[in-house]
């Protein structure tokens, strides 16, 4: 290395380190997903969720490559509302949630459709009532 006559100060080394340091992610989606699962479990059972760090962390990471955190968080709520005997008997572990995401998606969509259908039915009934006018008795 050739000498340039410049003296490297601590500030120079700090600047070099800051440039070489990897960017720290602003959020940790895997942790956020497991935290959302734990919160839903606590609301349901008043106990912390039985999260297995390595296993459940990897499952969460795999789910996050396919789905958004917002969608998964919504489906966690659906998961705890499912009336499935296998899920109840298994104790609602995260691994069973991961294996049943498809069921949560379809139940969540069905609930949205049911809400939409109910709203449309009520609007239709109100319209028909206005159309027919007050009943004559």
> Is the model's pTM score more than 0.75?
no
Q: What is the pLDDT of residues 118-129, one digit of tens each?
A: 566 666 667 667
Q: What tens digit of pLDDT does each residue of 31-49 get?
A: 999 999 999 999 999 999 9
Structure confidence at residue 101 as a pLDDT band (50, 70, 90): very high
Tell me the three state secondary structure of residue 26: coil
C-alpha 43/C-alpha 37 separation (Å) is: 10
What pLDDT, on the 0 to 100 scale, is given for residue 108?
74
Quick count: other Cβ atoms within 10 Å of Cβ 72?
Answer: 23
pLDDT at 134: 64
CA 104 centroid distance within chain: 12
Mean pLDDT of the chain: 80
DSSP secondary structure, 57-108, as one string: HHHHHHHHHHS-HHHHHHHHHHHTT---HHHHHHT--HHHHHHTHHHHHHHH
């Amino acid at each position: 290395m050739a000498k340039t006559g410049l003296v490297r100060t601590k500030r120079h080394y700090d600047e070099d380190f800051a440039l070489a340091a990897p960017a720290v992610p602003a959020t940790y989606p895997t942790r956020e997903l497991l935290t959302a699962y734990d919160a839903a479990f606590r609301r349901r059972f008043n106990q912390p969720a039985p999260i297995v760090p390595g296993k459940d962390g990897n499952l969460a990471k795999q789910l996050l490559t396919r789905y958004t955190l917002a969608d998964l968080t919504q489906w966690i709520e659906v998961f705890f509302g499912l009336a499935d005997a296998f899920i109840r008997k298994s104790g609602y572990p995260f691994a069973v949630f991961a294996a049943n995401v498809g069921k949560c998606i379809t139940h969540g969509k069905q609930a949205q459709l049911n809400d939409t259908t109910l709203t449309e039915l009520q609007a239709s009934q109100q319209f028909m009532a206005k159309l027919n006018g007050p009943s004559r008795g």
